[in-house]
Amino acid sequence: MASLELVKLASLLPAITDEKVSWPSTDGHSATPVPLLFWSDGTPWREANLWIAQKAVGTKFATLNSLMSHLLAFAKWLERTGVTWCHFPALESERCLYRFRGALKTALDYGEISPHTASNRMRAIVQFYSWVSMVGLLSPDWPMWKERSLGIRLPDKFGFERTLMTRTTNLAISSKRAVGEKLEDGLYPVTKSTEREILRFVKKNGSIELFHILSIGFRTGMRLGTIADLKVASLQRATADPLMAGFFRVQVGPQAHPPVATKNGVNGAIRIHEEDRDALLSYAASSRRLKRQARTALKDRNLVFLTVAGRPYAGTDQNNYRAVEMELSRLRRLALQLGNGCLVDFRFHRSRASFGSNVARLLLSRLPTDSALQLLQELMLHSEIATTLMYVKFAERSIALEDASDAFTKEFLKLADRNEQHDP
């Protein structure tokens, strides 16, 4: 099957001096590896690799990796079906892009992929084909898709609306949100009992590293990228929180010493319980971690979590979490085999959603809403207050629903008692 390989690109320009040709490198590309696509026979998909190479300058690796992951899925489908990527016959339904869109819709109907993934995958592929058409690498006899203009109404803070005109294609797949309350990234928190069962199962069947990572995720709300970039020195320099007994403040963000990765470069302090901090420091000094540290590069030796190969859990560029995703996938299959559904539909970021919703409920029971909102934003390191407000609204609705559920149960039991009394 087709695959992605990380390759460091170097921009070379010929220099001719004294009838000799040399190829000195230029600063056109960074030293960050770029994901390149190779077919199952080992040959590169040159057009796709050329496209991503020209996007590499000034683009974050996470964006590049996401685009190429979608193109990889397309390449695997092409190989399975025996269709070429430039197959555009007269019959529209037989053209490669329309057939792949149909395959995505089928996978969507069977629940194999989410609407968000299907929409982004088709959009990435249209981006690629737009580029190869623009630069003249592909000129099919028949149109690749049909375009139409679309107006999006955007209200401002004063209530006035303006219309943003954009263009879309008939290949686009709608990414409508499911009905119901969800939090960051469209995720839903897990219950406390499910959280305990997840940690119990992972502790018994998974690695100690994943257990610590999940524990910290559930108890601090830290994102996976922040946990993966957490330094031993960050824990050692943590200071006791004067307002929260038993908790320490761990500084994170680009201005922390040492710096720790956060989303949008937010600076702040994560609250971590003393027992959790001591457990992480004890793990950091264990022979298991020190063996991994001995295999790693000098710049990564202060990381709390390292893979068995001595690499960062966030990958070379702090954006690739395959080690965590692969172990969670293995444990998910094992749990299902054992008849345990605790990991069904579980993604790591749900630990953050669970932390945020639990803390929001606690704060709302003790503080005015505006104070709870400000404190929750600080604890969650949200760059936008609107994101924090989602948690507060979710907590308020969940409390109201619990009260309604209790009232409904009581009324139902009363009705059942009356029916029993009237039975002959």
The verdict on 131 and 233 lying in the same domain is no
Last residue of a domain, one of 347, 371, 390: 347
User: What is the crossing angle of helices 369-380 and 385-422, to 10°?
Assistant: 120
Last residue of a domain, one of 317, 332, 347: 347
Q: pLDDT grade, residue 415 (50/70/90)?
A: low
**How confident is the model over 320-348, as a mean pLDDT?**
89
Provide DSSP, 212-227.
HHHHHHHHH---HHHH
Q: Report phi then psi at 95, rounded to 5.
A: -70, 145
Is the residue at 376 inside a domain? Answer: no
Last residue of a domain, one of 316, 347, 378: 347
The verdict on 104 and 201 lying in the same domain is no
Is the residue at 186 inside a domain? Answer: no
Is the residue at 185 inside a domain? Answer: no
| C-alpha of 192 from chain center | 23
Mean per-residue pLDDT over the chain, rounded: 86
The verdict on 147 and 206 lying in the same domain is no
Is the residue at 112 inside a domain? Answer: yes
**How confident is the model over 327-346, as a mean pLDDT?**
92
Q: pLDDT grade, residue 172 (50/70/90)?
A: confident
- pLDDT score recorded for residue 236: 97
pTM (predicted TM-score)? 0.68
Residue-wise pLDDT tens digits, 194-237: 999 999 999 999 999 999 999 999 999 999 999 999 999 999 99
- pLDDT score recorded for residue 419: 54
**How confident is the model over 381-396, as a mean pLDDT?**
86
Does the pLDDT at position 163 exceed 70? no
204, exposed or middle or buried, with CB in 10 Å at 0-12, 13-18, 19+? exposed
- pLDDT score recorded for residue 300: 92
The verdict on 118 and 224 lying in the same domain is no
Does the pLDDT at position 417 exceed 80? no
**How confident is the model over 257-262, as a mean pLDDT?**
93
Pick from 149-153, 226-230, 242-246, 269-273: least confident: 149-153
The verdict on 208 and 326 lying in the same domain is yes
Q: Give the CA distances from residue 92 to residues 88, 129, 183, 267, 309, in Å, rounded to whole numbers and listed in that order.
A: 8, 16, 40, 52, 49
Q: Closest Cα to residue 186, out of 362, 394, 374?
A: 394
The verdict on 101 and 224 lying in the same domain is no
Q: How many structural domains compose the chain?
A: 2
The verdict on 147 and 259 lying in the same domain is no
How far apart are the C-alpha atoms of 174 and 366, rounded to whole Å? 42
How far apart are the C-alpha atoms of 218 and 201, rounded to whole Å? 15
Half-sphere exposure in the Cβ direction for 207 (13 Å, CA) = 17
**CATH number, position 232:** 1.10.443
Is the residue at 362 inside a domain? Answer: no
Q: Closest Cα to residue 331, out of 202, 195, 196?
A: 202
How far apart are the C-alpha atoms of 98 and 92, rounded to whole Å? 7
Q: Closest Cα to residue 357, out of 158, 215, 218, 176?
A: 218
Is the residue at 101 inside a domain? Answer: yes
**Which strand (E) or helix (H) includes residue 7?**
strand 3-7
Q: Report phi then psi at 346, rounded to 5.
A: -85, 130
Residue-wise pLDDT tens digits, 66-107: 999 999 999 999 999 999 999 999 999 999 999 999 999 998
- pLDDT score recorded for residue 128: 95
The verdict on 114 and 229 lying in the same domain is no
Is the residue at 372 inside a domain? Answer: no
How far apart are the C-alpha atoms of 339 and 341, rounded to whole Å? 6
The verdict on 211 and 150 lying in the same domain is no
The verdict on 151 and 200 lying in the same domain is no
**Which strand (E) or helix (H) includes residue 278?**
helix 274-284
- Domain coverage including residue 338: 196-347
Please confirm whether the linkage preceding 143 is cis (ω < 30° from 0): no
Which DSSP symbol is given to 92?
Answer: G
How far apart are the C-alpha atoms of 375 and 331, rounded to whole Å? 35
The verdict on 224 and 334 lying in the same domain is yes
Q: pLDDT grade, residue 284 (50/70/90)?
A: very high
How far apart are the C-alpha atoms of 83 and 79, rounded to whole Å? 7
**How confident is the model over 140-167, as a mean pLDDT?**
72
The verdict on 236 and 290 lying in the same domain is yes
Q: pLDDT grade, residue 148 (50/70/90)?
A: confident
41, exposed or middle or buried, with CB in 10 Å at 0-12, 13-18, 19+? exposed
Spatial CB neighbours of 183, under 8 Å, sequence gap ≥ 6: 189, 353, 356, 357, 390, 391, 394
Does the pLDDT at position 158 exceed 80? no
- pLDDT score recorded for residue 421: 55
How far apart are the C-alpha atoms of 415 and 363, rounded to whole Å? 36
Maximal CA-CA distance, the chain: 113
Is the residue at 139 inside a domain? Answer: yes
